[in-house]
A and B are shown apart, each in its own frame.
Chain A
Amino acid sequence: MNGLNKFLFIISFFLSVLFLPWWVSVFFGVVLLAVWRAYVSVILGAIILDVVFGSPLAVFGGFAYVYTLIFVTLSVLVLFLHKAMLE
């Protein structure tokens, strides 16, 4: 059941990346990281988001991978927190 939920969330996340507003993708991404620690899926989705819709942003000095940066940072944070809580 847990595996099915994770699968459904991953599918929803990838669909939201392509067809829904950014905040839906961020919500699914955060849930996937917090509950299932699905690092690969979330970072892959962020890369797709940046590659398909991204453009260099002047406010970030022309950086065009904002979502990838956000989700990599979140993944590292989740990894740290997970280790810290287990110790």
Chain B
Amino acid sequence: MMMMGRSQASNIQALPALLGVLFLGVVVFFAMNFQAPVRAFFAEFLATPTPEYASLSRSELENRLQEAEEKVTRTEYQSVLYGLVVEENKKLREVRGVESISTAIPARVLSRPPRTHYDTLMVAAGSAVGVSAHDYAVWNGILLGEVISTTASSATIELYSTPGSEHDVVLGTPSAVAISRGLGGGSFEIMVPQEVVVVPGDVVRATTDETLLFGVVVSVSGSATDATKTVHVASPVSMNELDFISLLPAGGI
């Protein structure tokens, strides 16, 4: 009788845990439906910067307008020169038989690590401007990651340094293709055979396009008697300082 009472009490105590698991299941199952509208709301309203002119006085606004007009005049002159350069570049490309450069989509970064544990960037460019899943995120020739989801006005990019994610890279002398494993925060770990010479400062390149930098070797560890050695690589860009990046079409590089 007493045992039955104890069993009922433990059943009641286990109820919150069961409800918690059930609730988690419901969230995992249904939350994807709300992802697009919630992300769009964040990108369009919450992460939009406030207008910087709202609190300025009339005289300050007049000064700024005058400065802006002068700047426009200078820019108009420069644009004429730029047009000439573009024309010359186009002719040279035709002569050399070079195809046109792939069109990168510039995107403002709305959120970046360490906002969350997830190694993701959210950018203010979505499917409305041609961004699609698997597009590459690039900053100054450094490959950062891949678009994993888009809404009309935003895209989420999973950085290659996301813990546990694996990608092919090229490094060392002679050149070897190896698998990099993300450790989070712009760090990677790569196992390479002892025969491949890798020293700190070497560059690691992406296999998708070897002109794009993946990271820089920070240190190499492992005994000379081991078959492989571990190469520690860091991305040369600080993720929390990214303001603008470029998105390249998956088939365009």
Main secondary structure of the interface of A (DSSP, over half): helix
Query: Is A9 on the interface with B (CB-CB < 8 A)?
Result: no
Number of interface residues of A (CB under 8 A): 35
Sort chain B's interface into a size bin. Answer: 35 or more
Partner of A58, one of B23, B117, B162: B162
B13, B31, B38 — most chain A CB neighbours (10 Å): B31
Stretch at the interface among B51-59, B81-89, B163-171, B202-210: B163-171
Residues of B within 8 A of A22 (CB): 114-117
A 37-67 contacts with B by CB, 8 A: 43, 47-60, 63-67
Query: Is A21 on the interface with B (CB-CB < 8 A)?
Result: yes
Residues of B within 8 A of A55 (CB): 118-120, 148-149, 156, 158, 162
Interface residues in chain B, defined as those with a beta carbon under 8 Å from any beta carbon in chain A: 13, 16-17, 20, 23-24, 27-28, 31, 34-35, 38-39, 42, 46-47, 111, 114-120, 122, 148-149, 156, 158, 162-166, 182
Interface residues in chain A, defined as those with a beta carbon under 8 Å from any beta carbon in chain B: 18-23, 43, 47-60, 63-69, 72-73, 75-76, 79-80, 83
